[in-house]
């Protein structure tokens, strides 16, 4: 075993780090575009319900597993196991999560690299380097590899420094920056023509779509991705929380921040799309649906910034810095999953392990870049639509069916003595045992059809 594991030094440190992991491209890009293409506020409504009723309980399960085990995902799950069969099952679930985190990072790093390249473009324009500006936003093998490498370098840089000096310190710096930038941008977009129409589209629900299975599946996937579930990440972050903290309220606060930032991002992106439309930029695809995904972030929004003249350079820069920062606080958590596993299970020094795994994942990214058209989608689907729900579900099964109820209670009670009489304790154990695994399984099986 490695000597000292590190711990978050304060509750705010944990909140910033866990919210940093949760708030990422999923919130600022994924959530608004899913909302735009799934009936506006109807999606927001379903998302809120699923986030609190399904994702939060599963999130609590992962945090508790980690804090109980005080170790990486595999070791923590094995500490709860009583038979050899349980231990093997623990290995599959824990290691599956670690692999899932690595897979997500391998494609997330590429997209985050694009965000950085789009942040550099306005700077290049500003200093009169027009050719370079064009190069950084054009698809090319070299550009993709270069920017993915830069982003991975930053991720490795933070994780090499460990829990307090790396994850906590940087999350505490970057999260306020992210929230500040987001609010500033929203304030600015609201002053522009077309924003109120966008606000209308965002906040007026089309309730006929609430029970649409497609919408339910997308909302659940979005909620799980957003809370970083099924990737061992929240298990490891849970393991760095002091036993004195009240986990139930910490978990609720992180969920609330995550959901609120997604909501705020919607207030920025959807009005911005309608502002773009008022400027003559096309925001609807040929089939009449709103342009989403990469078309939105890398075509519609830059076209909008172009119409704003020199102000557009600043707004474009701020927007893509916001995206890059959001991506970085998430990517560090993805790297921490595999790193903590290797450090603790194979007794390798943290700095070495971080560099080694970071470079390995970078090579996976290069593999994806070499076949971008097929591989990006393939890896993203494999990790987020299959890996995450399955592993999150198995974590709930572990907590509900393998972990002793008394041990669970003891773990929740530390830092929260009166929990035995709270509604949380009356509902959550039963909920995690039956409702979460069944609901996840139903939605998952449905999505396979």
Between the alpha carbon of residue 310 and those of residues 49, 120, 122, 234, 293, the distances in Å are 42, 15, 9, 42, 26
The least distance separating ligand PHE from the CB of residue 290, rounded to whole angstroms, comes to: 20
Residue 33 lies near ligand PHE (rule: CB under 6 A): no
User: What's the CA gap between 388 and 400, in Å, rounded?
Assistant: 18
Please report whether residue 26 would count as binding ligand PHE according to CB under 6 A. Answer: yes
Q: Is 334 in the site for ligand PHE (CB under 6 A)?
A: yes
Among 171, 144, 92, 107, CA closest to 329: 171
Positions in 84-103 near ligand PHE (CB under 6 A):
101
Give the shortest CB-237-to-ligand PHE separation in angstroms: 10
If the CB atoms of residues 277 and 365 are measured against ligand PHE, the closer one turns out to be 365
Binding residue for ligand PHE, selected from 27, 155, 239, 354, defined by CB under 6 A: 27
Dihedral sign (CA 353, 356, 357, 358): positive
To the nearest whole angstrom, how small is the minimum distance from the Cβ of residue 313 to ligand PHE?
26
Nearer to ligand PHE, 237 or 398 (CB): 237
Of 196, 354, 193, 203, the closest CA to residue 280 belongs to 193
Give the residue among 55, 19, 30 at the shortest CA–CA distance from 297.
30
Residues in 230-249 that interact with ligand PHE by CB under 6 A: 231, 233
Q: For residues 147 and 411, give the distance between their C-alpha atoms in angstroms, rounded to a whole number.
A: 43
Please state, in angstroms and rounded to a whole number, the distance separating the CA atoms of residues 228 and 235: 10
Under the criterion CB under 6 A, does residue 292 sit at the interface with ligand PHE? Answer: no
Residue 317 touches ligand PHE, criterion: CB under 6 A: no
Q: According to CB under 6 A, which one of 255, 292, 330, 416 is a site residue for ligand PHE?
A: 330
**For residue 444, what is the DSSP state?**
H
Which part of the chain contacts ligand PHE (CB under 6 A), choosing from 198-206, 211-219, 221-229, 342-350? 221-229
CA distance 388 to 272: 31
Among 392, 429, 437, 409, which residue's Cα sits nearest to residue 59? 392
**284 phi and psi angles, rounded to 5 deg:** -110, 140
Query: Measured between alpha carbons, how far is residue 297 from residues 193, 221, 323, 373, 447 in Å?
Result: 20, 20, 10, 18, 26
Q: Measured between alpha carbons, how far is residue 291 from residues 164, 219, 297 in Å? A: 41, 18, 9
Q: Does 329 bind ligand PHE (CB under 6 A)?
A: no
| SS3 (DSSP) at 196 | helix
Contact between 51 and ligand PHE per CB under 6 A: no
Give yes or no for residue 225 binding ligand PHE (CB under 6 A). Answer: yes
Compute how many residues bind ligand PHE; rule: CB under 6 A.
16
Contacts of 35 (CB under 8 A, 6+ apart): 41, 43, 44, 47, 202, 266, 270
Q: Which is nearer to ligand PHE, 396 or 419 (CB)?
A: 396
* CA dihedral over 423, 429, 432, 438, signed as positive or negative: negative
Binding range to ligand PHE, per CB under 6 A, among 317-325, 327-335, 412-420, 425-433: 327-335
- 226 interacts with ligand PHE by CB under 6 A: yes
Point out which span in 91-99, 119-127, 330-338, 416-424 binds ligand PHE (CB under 6 A): 330-338
* Choice from 37, 144, 255, 333 touching ligand PHE (CB under 6 A): 333
Q: Does 24 bind ligand PHE (CB under 6 A)?
A: yes
Could you tell me which stretch among 18-26, 176-184, 192-200, 202-210 binds ligand PHE (CB under 6 A)? 18-26
- Rounded to a whole number of angstroms, the minimum distance from the CB of residue 231 to ligand PHE is 4
Nearest Cα residue to 12 out of 172, 212, 238: 172
104 near ligand PHE, judged by CB under 6 A: yes
Q: How far apart are the C-alpha atoms of 379 and 371, rounded to whole Å?
A: 11
Question: Which C-beta is closer to ligand PHE: that of 121 or that of 336?
Answer: 336
**Interface with ligand PHE, residue 76, by CB under 6 A:** no
Q: Would you say 398 and 90 are in contact if contact means Cβ atoms under 8 Å apart?
A: yes
Tell whether residue 228 is a contact of ligand PHE (CB under 6 A): yes
Rule CB under 6 A: is residue 171 a binding residue for ligand PHE? no
Q: Does 148 bind ligand PHE (CB under 6 A)?
A: no
**What secondary structure letter does DSSP report for 291?**
P
Instruction: Identify the residue among 17, 22, 322, 395 touching ligand PHE (CB under 6 A).
Output: 22
User: In this complex, which beta carbon is closest to ligand PHE, that of residue 124 or of residue 236?
Assistant: 236
Quickly list H helices, 227-295: 233-239, 247-278, 293-295
Stretch of residues binding ligand PHE (CB under 6 A), selected from 25-33, 124-132, 353-361, 366-374? 25-33
Using the contact rule CB under 6 A, the part of the chain among 23-31, 153-161, 249-257, 355-363 near ligand PHE is: 23-31
Residue 21 lies near ligand PHE (rule: CB under 6 A): yes
Q: What residues make contact with ligand PHE under the rule CB under 6 A?
A: 21-22, 24-27, 101, 104, 225-226, 228, 231, 233, 330, 333-334
């Amino acid at each position: 075993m490695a000597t000292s594991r590190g711990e978050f030094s304060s509750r705010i440190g944990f909140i910033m780090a866990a919210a940093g992991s949760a708030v990422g491209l999923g919130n600022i890009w994924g959530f608004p575009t899913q909302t735009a293409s799934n009936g506006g506020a109807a999606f927001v409504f379903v998302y809120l319900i699923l986030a609190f009723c399904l994702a939060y309980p599963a999130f609590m399960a992962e945090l508790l597993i980690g804090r109980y085990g005080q170790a990486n995902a595999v070791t923590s799950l094995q500490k709860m196991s009583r038979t050899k069969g349980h231990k093997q099952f623990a290995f599959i679930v824990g290691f599956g999560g670690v692999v899932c985190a690595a897979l997500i990072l391998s494609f997330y790093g590429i997209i985050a690299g694009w965000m950085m390249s789009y942040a550099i473009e306005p700077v290049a324009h500003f200093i009169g380097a027009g050719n370079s500006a064009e190069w950084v936003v054009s698809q090319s093998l070299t550009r993709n590899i270069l920017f993915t490498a830069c982003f991975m370098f930053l991720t490795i840089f933070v994780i090499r420094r460990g829990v307090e000096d790396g994850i906590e310190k940087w999350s505490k710096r970057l999260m306020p920056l992210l929230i500040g930038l987001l609010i500033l941008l929203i304030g600015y977009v609201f002053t522009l023509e077309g924003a109120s129409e966008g606000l209308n589209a965002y906040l007026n629900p089309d309730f006929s779509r609430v029970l649409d299975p497609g919408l339910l599946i997308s909302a659940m996937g979005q909620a799980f991705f957003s809370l970083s579930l099924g990737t061992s990440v929240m298990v490891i972050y849970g393991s760095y929380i002091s036993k004195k903290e009240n986990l139930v309220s910490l978990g609720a606060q992180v969920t609330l921040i995550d959901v609120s930032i997604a909501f705020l991002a919607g207030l920025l992106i959807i009005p911005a799309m309608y502002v773009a439309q008022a400027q003559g930029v096309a925001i609807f695809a040929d089939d009449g649906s709103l342009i989403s995904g990469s078309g939105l972030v890398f075509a519609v929004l830059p076209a909008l910034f172009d119409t704003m003249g020199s102000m557009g350079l600043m707004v474009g820069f701020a927007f893509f810095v916001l995206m890059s920062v959001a991506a970085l606080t998430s990517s560090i958590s993805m790297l921490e999953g595999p790193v903590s596993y290797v450090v603790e299970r194979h007794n390798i020094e943290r700095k070495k392990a971080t560099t080694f795994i970071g470079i390995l994942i970078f090579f996976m990214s290069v593999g994806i870049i070499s076949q971008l058209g097929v591989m990006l989608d393939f890896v993203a689907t494999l990790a987020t639509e299959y890996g995450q729900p399955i592993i999150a579900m198995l974590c709930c099964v572990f907590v509900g069916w393998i972990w002793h109820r008394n041990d669970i209670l003891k773990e929740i009670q530390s830092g929260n003595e009166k929990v035995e009489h709270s509604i949380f304790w009356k509902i959550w154990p039963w909920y995690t045992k039956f409702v979460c695994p069944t609901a996840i399984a139903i939605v998952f099986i449905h999505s396979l059809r």
